[in-house]
Amino acid sequence: METDPATDPADAERVLRRVAEAAPGYLASLAGRLVDDPAGRPLLAELAGPLPENGAGAEVAVEELLRIGTGAATHSSGPRFFHFVVGGATPAATAGDWIATLLDQNAVLWTSSPLATTAETVALGWLKDLFGLPAGWGGVLTPSATFANLTGLAAARHWWAARHGRDVAADGLAGLPAMPVLGGGYVHPSARKALQILGCGRDTVRTHTRDDAGRIDLDALATALEHTGPAVLIATAGEVNAGDFDPIDAMADLAAEHGCWLHVDGAFGLFAALSPRTEHLLRGIGRADSVAADAHKWLNVPYESGFAFARDPQALADAFGSWNAPYLVSTDTEVDYSRLGPESSRRARALPIWATLRAYGRSGYRAIVERNLDLTRRLGALVEAAPDLELLAPVRLCVACFRYRPPGVPEVALDELNARLGRALLATAGCTPGRRCTAGTRRCGRRSSTGAPRRPTSSCSSTWSGSWVSDSFKTWRERGRTVAPWHPDLT
């Protein structure tokens, strides 16, 4: 059959309606599904095959993709998934994302989409307000926290070069002294990746730690700054393994004393600002020069969504604004977000952010964050009370980090035992805790993040989610007992 999208205008209605019909059933099924269902794996082969010479038509294609997708996806936005720091998507954010696709705006310039540009300005303003950041800061939406780190660190790199009388955006790094980048042991690989892309080198970060977990040694950092002089400091708000925070205020003091650029990676930890119970963890954030965070984590909008802020809006324009092409027409009065961040053509990712903040507001997000805080604390307490489990780090935010430690198993055998437990859980129990290794000792445990509303539909009451934590907790212990007897060190 010869197919051409122009031949059947009714196609769009049929296929979009089909997806909308399928969506509620899929969402409702998440709580009962295995996160990583082996039965779905054979479906992946159905994606393959040669490029069709003649297409099958939109209805066939969409029907196939729905069947394969809903069967083979990692069902991570449901309540059984405790790995990574993965959000779900609120109903308003999902619908907002569909609208972004429907309207297919190019958010490159004001002239290409006044709608997307205005929504981005409003969304960034709301986000600053949500996190208590100054309204006058500059900002831009990015595809992820990695890109947000890239954005903040590109501004830092521009600052560094300007200190040496150079415009790095125009002339590059050649001839410049290496930019010193310092932090504690919590610096996320994503910040290193950003430095890698920026030509500063991912291994140039000098970390100063006072323990195996990676907590920062401020005295050592201060001593190092005596030698380096002005440098870039990276503070992590919400360390990915255990959810701890660098002391941002104290790092801001050092930054002020030594004339440094302070970049804060708050991919998910920035949301600590939403609760009076955790906002102290971010003390000093308003003194940062740049801040990076994700929206596809705790804001619970669909991938890809992050954002970066800079105290001085000009810093973003300096780092990204110099590219030019005569056909990209700017106005004198309106902002062009492609001149404030790394992308050129970009989707209107402000629309799902706008929709979800309009729908649930500050109080809705505080409720999500505090529900997750409660769940994580509850899980931490269950772990502490269990004789065969060990909490590997204090619960600070939305991450509980623990391992199975039945009596009689030697320390050297615990990593392997916990790795085996993880595989057993994944294969049979349908809940997915993460894997965590503490930096120095490489002790492996289960890392469990509750930082999402877990399908925040009406079914996401705290009782419902709470029972999931209890059930999953029971499963972890039961599977632990099943796995342990197979272990050679137990026999």
Question: Where does this chain bind ligand PLP (CB under 6 A)?
Answer: 85, 144-146, 188, 190, 236, 238, 240, 265, 267-268, 294, 306
How deeply is 54 buried, as exposed, middle or buried, from its count of CB atoms within 10 A (0-12, 13-18, 19+)? Answer: exposed
Nearest C-alpha neighbor of 161 from the set 252, 232, 226, 263 = 232
AA letter at 485:
P
**What's the min distance (Å) between Cβ of 272 and ligand PLP?**
12
147 versus 160: smaller Cβ distance to ligand PLP: 147
224 versus 299: smaller Cβ distance to ligand PLP: 299
**What's the min distance (Å) between Cβ of 314 and ligand PLP?**
25
188 versus 405: smaller Cβ distance to ligand PLP: 188
**What's the min distance (Å) between Cβ of 268 and ligand PLP?**
6
296 versus 477: smaller Cβ distance to ligand PLP: 296
What's the Cα-to-Cα distance from 108 to each of 119, 135, 318, 330, 346, rounded to whole Å?
A: 13, 23, 17, 10, 6
**What's the min distance (Å) between Cβ of 437 and ligand PLP?**
15
**What's the min distance (Å) between Cβ of 239 and ligand PLP?**
7
What's the Cα-to-Cα distance from 10 to each of 7, 244, 249, rounded to whole Å?
A: 9, 53, 58
**What's the min distance (Å) between Cβ of 364 and ligand PLP?**
22
Nearest C-alpha neighbor of 472 from the set 442, 488, 450 = 450
CB 398 within 8 A of CB 373: yes
Q: What is the largest CA-CA distance in the chain?
A: 76
Sort strands 232-236 and 181-183 into parallel, antiparallel or unpaired. parallel
43 versus 205: smaller Cβ distance to ligand PLP: 205
Query: Which residues, in sequence order, are bridge partners of residue 403?
Result: 390
AA letter at 323:
W
DSSP code, position 56: -
Q: What contacts 70, CB < 8 A, 6 or more positions away?
A: 22, 26
**What's the min distance (Å) between Cβ of 48 and ligand PLP?**
27
176 versus 198: smaller Cβ distance to ligand PLP: 198
36 versus 294: smaller Cβ distance to ligand PLP: 294
